[in-house]
Amino acid sequence: MPDRPDPPALDTLSTPVAWADAEGRLLGCNPAFASWLGVSARRLQGLAVTELDAEGGRLADLLVRLPDTGEAVRVRRARLAMPGGGERFAELLLARDEHGGLRLEAHPSEEFPGEDPATALPAALHAALKGLAHEVRNPLAGLKGAAQLLARRVENGDARQLVELIGSEADRLAALVERLLHPTPPRPFAPTNIHAVLERVRQLAETEAGWSVKLSRDFDPSLPDIRGDADRLVQAVWNLVRNALESGASNVSLRTRAEHHIVIGENVHRLAVRVEVADDGRGVPEDLAERIFLPLVTGRAEGTGLGLPLAQQIAREHGGSLGYRSRPGHTVFTLLLPVPPAGDEGAAGGGAG
């Protein structure tokens, strides 16, 4: 198979197209394909097509059965894993050429255009949340006062730690209520240790789940601080962990790693922090896979469908991204957060739009 079929036409084509050898390893792609997956064309070279599969072997099965007649096979509602984290949805056309090589053409889903399928909360929902916030404010103040009184009487160290957790969470909820009732510009970002954020989430998870769930940590201690809003990040990661707990998981893992020279959206970052929340729960229902970040979409009767959209919104506020891959028994949500270059204050919050 030629290394670069139809080069002049492919470079200007807006449709994402890639080509691979007979073994299914990518030889190249046009700029539209690299941009669609959020990485450079060089990074994709040599990658097995099956490594882009976010559906647990669907592409591998198709490649084995792909006819060598040059006839294209259409793959509807395909879910591809982005190498830098996140997913893309498309209708794929797969075909082999006369040398046995593979051509892959992607037609991104028109139903959920753009980089992420999330949309802003509609005005009616925002009004309902504002009303709820007003009703919550007084009981929340009572909870905070009770925690302060209890703290004066508690001597045991473990019990005191739990009382302090109640107080700090009441403060965080009170700030959220005020934000809903009286919207203000985002507060400036500050140096934030991502592991301090995850430890706070771990405390909340252990308090809620008790011994019914094993929570493990795999942290990279060399990670630098990011710039962000610690309370908002706690909320985002806590929503992901609660999602795992409510999916019936018995094991939840928090993992951090560094990502170098990564593309998030349209921006290239020298360094980013990757946070993974993995669980062994039921996974994301297949019929919700393309809509999981839309408000009010949930697979549980008692769910609100707001946790994941809010987590994605917070990721965006920090210039990052949130994606996932899932199958029954193994779901991983990946939060990418850029680390600003040394000397770049980047103090203003909400810069991701």
279-306: pLDDT as tens digits:
998 888 877 767 777 766 555 544 456 7
- The one-letter amino acid code at 245 reads L
Q: Spell out the domain ranges in the chain.
A: 7-108, 118-184, 186-353
> In the CATH hierarchy, which top-level class contains the domain 7-108?
alpha beta
- Alpha carbon 227 to its chain centroid, in Å, reads 18
Q: Among 96-110, 111-125, 173-187, 335-349, name the one with the lowest average pLDDT.
A: 111-125
Q: What is the pLDDT of residue 86?
A: 75
The count of other CB atoms within 10 Å of the CB of residue 287 is: 9
Report yes or no: 304 and 298 within 8 Å, Cβ to Cβ.
Answer: yes
Pairing of strands 214-218, 251-264: parallel
User: Average pLDDT, whole number, for the chain?
Assistant: 77
Give domain 186-353's CATH number out of 3.40.50.1220, 3.40.640.10, 3.40.50.10490, 3.30.565.10.
3.30.565.10
Q: Phi, psi at residue 117, to the nearest 5°?
A: -80, 0
- What is the SS3 assignment for 39? coil
Q: How confident is the model at residue 351 (pLDDT cuts 50, 70, 90)?
A: very low
Q: What is the pLDDT of residues 195-242, one digit of tens each?
A: 999 998 888 888 776 677 888 999 999 999 999 999 899 989 999 998
Q: Phi, psi at residue 94, to the nearest 5°?
A: -115, 135
Pairing of strands 267-279, 251-264: antiparallel
Report yes or no: 99 and 22 within 8 Å, Cβ to Cβ.
Answer: yes
Question: Any idea which residue has 């962000």 for tokens?
Answer: 228
- The one-letter amino acid code at 88 reads R
